[in-house]
Amino acid sequence: MADPASYRPRTGEIPTEPGVYRFRDQHGRVIYVGKAKSLRSRLNSYFANPAGLTPKTHAMVHAASSVEWTVVGSELESLQLEYTWIKEYKPRYNVVFRDDKSYPYLAVTLGEKIPRVQVMRGERRKGTKYFGPYTAGAIRETMDTLLRVFPVRSCSAGVFRRAEASGRPCLLGYIDKCSAPCVGRISEEDHRALAEDFCAFMGGEAKRFLNRLEREMKAAVAELNYEQAARLRDDIAAMRKVFERNAVVLADSTDADLFAIHEDELEASVQVFHVRGGRIRSQQGWVVEKVEDTTAADLVEHLLQQAYGEEAGNTDRIPREVLVPVLPPDAGQLAEWLSGLRGARVDVRVPQRGDKAQLMETVRANAEQALKLHKTRRAGDITTRSLAIQELQEALELDEPPLRIECFDISHVQGTNVVGSMVVVEDGLPRKSEYRKFTITGAAAHDDTAAMDDVLTRRFKAYLRDRVHVPAELGQAVDGGNEDAPPVTDAREEAVLGAPAQPGKFAYPPNLVVVDGGKPQVAAAQRALDALGIQEVRVVGLAKRLEEVWLPDSDFPVILPRASQSLYLLQRIRDEAHRFAITFHRQRRGKAMTVSALDGVPGLGESKRKALLTHFGSLKKIKAATVEELTDVKGVGVVLAAAVHERLHGEESQDVAPAVNYTTGEILEP
C-alpha cells in the first residue's frame, strides 16, 4: 500500500474552483472519481489524519499512487463529468451510479394532452422535454421552487383522474402549487402555455420571466401590497438560484473537441475537452516546449495535425466540430483534410459567444492551471534548482554559484507614480520577507535608466550602512578595497570587541543582480555599483523581447538555450519583480487618484467634503461658488467656506473673496 504523503499535492498547487478529481493506482487505473465545489478543500480532506477517515476512504487513499483533477465552470458541469467518468472507468471505490441507473432529470411531458412536470430516469421518451441532470435532492428543490411560479400539473395519471371525477383538486391545487386543470380552474390551452413557459425558463430564457416578476413586485409595492411584494421577492431569488443551477453544458446534438492553449515565452500548455452528445466525455493535457517565433496559430495547426493524423476513418474520434482559440494559418485546408479523414464534414472555428465560448473559457482555465502547476513543481524540485544555478554560473562565468539573486524592475505610466521593486531569490526559491519597494521622485522619475540608477544606489548604500563588519584585520576584505567605505560605526566597534551585533535588513549582498531590461539598464546599474565602489557583485540584464542576457561593457548578449533551467530561473525572477512592481504602482496610482483639491483644508473632514460634493455635484462647481453659496451646505460655516474658497482659488481669491472676521465669523464689506 502506498503512503498518501508520497503523492499528496501541495496545497498551493490545487485550484479552489469546482472540478472533478481522479485517484489512480500504481498501474494508472482510475480507482475513484469525485467532484467538489472547491478542489483544494476536498482533496486536502483526503490527506488528513488517517484515523479520521472512513474505512473505505482510508483504503482508497492508500491504494492510490497519484491524484489528478480537472477544473470546470460550474457545479453542474462537475456533476455531469463525474457521472460520465464513473460510467467510463467503473472505479472500484465508487459505489454511487456504478449500476445502470442514471442521474435524474426534470422532465415536462409536452406530448400529453395535459402536460406534466415530473422526475425521470433512464431512456428518454418521445414528446418529453428534459432538463438536468441533477442530484436527487437538488431536483426536488428545483421542482418545488418553480411550481410556485409556474403551477404546472405534477400529479400522476391516477390522481388526475380521481380529482377530475370528484371535482375537487388535490392538495397541490389548494396550496397554489398546481393550477388545477383537472377541475377547470385553467383551460387546457392556458395550462399548455404555462408548461411552455416552464420549459422556456429552464431552457435559459430566465431574464424575461425575472423582469416580469420584478415589474409585478414594483407594482405591488406601489399599491402598498407589501405581503405580495415579499412573496414575489422570494420567488425572484429562488428563480435566480434555479437558473444558475440549470446551466447546461452544451446541446445534446453537439459533438466537438475544444482545444485551448496557455503559453509563455518557453512553453505552452494544451488542454482538450472531448464533448460527445453535449457532455464532456474525456480530457487530455500536455505541456510542450515552444520553438522560437512560434505563434499561437502555428501551435494550433501542429496540434491538430498530431492529434488527428492517425485517425483516418474514425468518425467517433474526429468530431463534427473542432473548436480552437485562434484559427490556424490554413484553416480551410486543415478543415478539408480533417473532413477527408473523418469521411464527413468537419468545421474548424473559434467560438465567439454562447455555451461553447463559455466552455472554451473553462478549457483555457484548465490549460492555465496546468502550466502553473507544471512550473511550480519544476521550480520546487531541488535537483532542477541546483541545475539552474549551476548552468547560470557556467554561462555567466561567475566565480561562485549565484545562491542569492536580486532582481530590480521599474514601473510607471508615462512617467507618473514611478516605483521600483526588488525581489530576492535564495537557492532558487523566493525569499519574500526580503522583498523591497522603492518610491522614485525628482529627476530620476523622468528616465528609466536614471530610475534604475537611483534604486540600485539606495539599495547598496543601505548595504554599506547595514552590513556587520568583522574585526579590523579582516575589514579590508569585507570592504572590498573600497577607500570610500563608511567610517567605523558603533556596530563595527561592537563586532571588534566581540559583542553581539545584529545585521541590518540590507546587510547581505547578492551574488548576482538582475535588472529588467537590456544594455542601457545594465549600464545604469553598473554605474551605481561603481560609484559606491562595490566590485564583488555581478550585474546582468534580461531583455524581454528575445530573452537575451546582457552583461556590462559587452556589445553582444549571452544567449541561453531556450529550454535551459538557467533561462527559466531568470525569467521567473524577472516576472516576479515585474509583478511586485506593478502591484505597488497600482496601489500608488489608486491612492493618487483619490487625492482631492479639497484635501488639507483646515476643519474640512471627510463628511463635510462629501457634503460639498453632493450639494454642488463636482469640484468645478464648488470652485465657481461664492463663500455665501458654500455656507448653504450643512455643517459649512463662514470661516470654513472662506478657507475652502481660498484653497481652490489660491492667490486670485485675494481679489474676489470677501474679508472675514475670524472671531465672529462675520463677512466684512470691502
Low-confidence ranges of the chain (pLDDT < 70): 1, 76, 79, 95-103, 122-124, 132-139, 203-206, 241-252, 265-266, 279, 281-282, 289-294, 309-316, 377-383, 414-415, 467-507, 545, 563, 590-600, 650-670
The CA–CA distances, whole Å, from 84 to 32, 77, 79, 80, 627 equal 13, 10, 9, 6, 74
Nearest to 425 by CA among 401, 455, 453, 443: 401
pLDDT digits (tens, 9 = 90+) for 61-119: 888 989 999 888 777 677 677 777 877 788 888 754 444 445 577 788 888 888 998 88
Identical topology for domains 256-377 and 397-467+503-591:
yes
Nearest-angstrom CA–CA distance, 625 and 614: 14
**φ, ψ dihedrals at 370, nearest 5°:** -65, -40
CA–centroid distance for 300 within its chain: 24
pLDDT at 203: 66
Q: Return the C-alpha torsion angle 488, 491, 494, 499, nearest 10.
A: -160
Is the Cβ–Cβ distance between 18 and 78 less than 8 Å? Answer: yes
Specify the length of the chain in residues. 670
The fold of the 397-467+503-591 domain, in CATH, is: Nucleotidyltransferase; domain 5 (3.30.420)
Q: What confidence tens digit (pLDDT) does each residue in 445-464 have?
A: 777 788 888 888 888 888 88
- Give me the torsion for CA of 354, 358, 361, 363, rounded to 10°: -110
CB under 8 Å to 102, separation ≥6 — which residues? 83, 121, 122, 133
Distance CA 351, CA 273 (A): 14
- Least Cα distance to 463 among 522, 413, 536 occurs for 536
What pLDDT was estimated at residue 473? Answer: 39
490 exposure class (CB count in 10 Å sphere: 0-12, 13-18, 19+): exposed
Q: Which residues, 6+ apart, have CB-to-CB distance to 338 below 8 Å?
A: 304, 308, 318, 322, 346, 348
Task: Return the C-alpha cell found at 205.
Answer: 430564457
User: Rounded CA gap, 60 and 22, in Å?
Assistant: 11
CATH fourth-level superfamily of 4-89: GIY-YIG endonuclease (3.40.1440.10)
Q: Give me the pLDDT at residue 492, please.
A: 36
CA distances from 18 to 66, 186, 281 (A): 19, 43, 17
Cβ pair 370, 287 in contact under 8 A? yes
Answer whether 319's CB lies under 8 Å from 356's CB.
Answer: no
416 and 441 Cβ atoms separated by less than 8 Å:
no
Between β-strands 416-426 and 436-439, what pairing exists: parallel, antiparallel or unpaired? Answer: antiparallel
For residue 670, the model assigns a pLDDT of: 40
pLDDT value of residue 174: 84
Residues in Cβ contact with 530 at an 8 Å cutoff, skipping those fewer than 6 apart: none
Of 25, 27, 35, 32, which Cα lies nearest the Cα of 91?
Answer: 32
CA–CA gap between residue 95 and residue 114 (Å, rounded) = 38
DSSP state of 344: S
Burial of 14: CB neighbours in 10 Å, binned 0-12, 13-18, 19+:
buried
Q: Which amino acid is at 65?
A: S
Place of cell 407589501: 226
Mapping DSSP onto H, E and C, the string for 178-246 reads CCCHHHCCCCHHHHHHHHHHHHHHHCCCHHHHHHHHHHHHHHHHHCCCHHHHHHHHHHHHHHHHHHHHC
Task: Decide if 419 contacts 440 (C-beta within 8 A).
Answer: yes
- Residue 644: name the closest of 597, 580, 574 by CA: 597
Q: Which of 464, 574, 454, 465 is nearest to 512 (CA)?
A: 574
For residues 506 and 523, give the distance between their C-alpha atoms in angstroms, rounded to a whole number: 23
Q: Please tell me the pTM assigned to this model.
A: 0.42
Which contacts of 159-162 are long-range, i.e. CB under 8 A and separated by 24 or more positions? Answer: 160/114
Four-point Cα dihedral 374, 380, 383, 385, nearest 10? 100
Partner residues linked to 268 by β-bridges: 263, 288
Residue 13 is classified by DSSP as G
- Contact between 18 and 38 under an 8 Å Cβ cutoff? The reply is yes
Q: Answer whether CATH 1.10.150.20 is correct for domain 596-670.
A: yes
The residue extents of the domains of the chain are 4-89, 105-205, 256-377, 397-467+503-591, 596-670
DSSP secondary structure code for residue 12 in this structure: G
Q: Give residues with Cβ within 8 angstroms of 653, minimum separation 6.
A: 645, 646
- Partners of 71 in beta bridges: 19
Q: What is the pLDDT of residues 371-425, one digit of tens each?
A: 887 777 666 566 677 788 888 888 888 888 888 889 998 887 766 778 888 998 8
Q: Are 402 and 389 in contact (CB under 8 A)?
A: yes
Task: Classify domain 256-377 at the CATH class level.
Answer: alpha beta
Question: What is the four-CA torsion angle of 276, 280, 284, 290, rounded to 10 degrees?
Answer: 90
- Report residue 304 as a C-alpha cell: 491538430
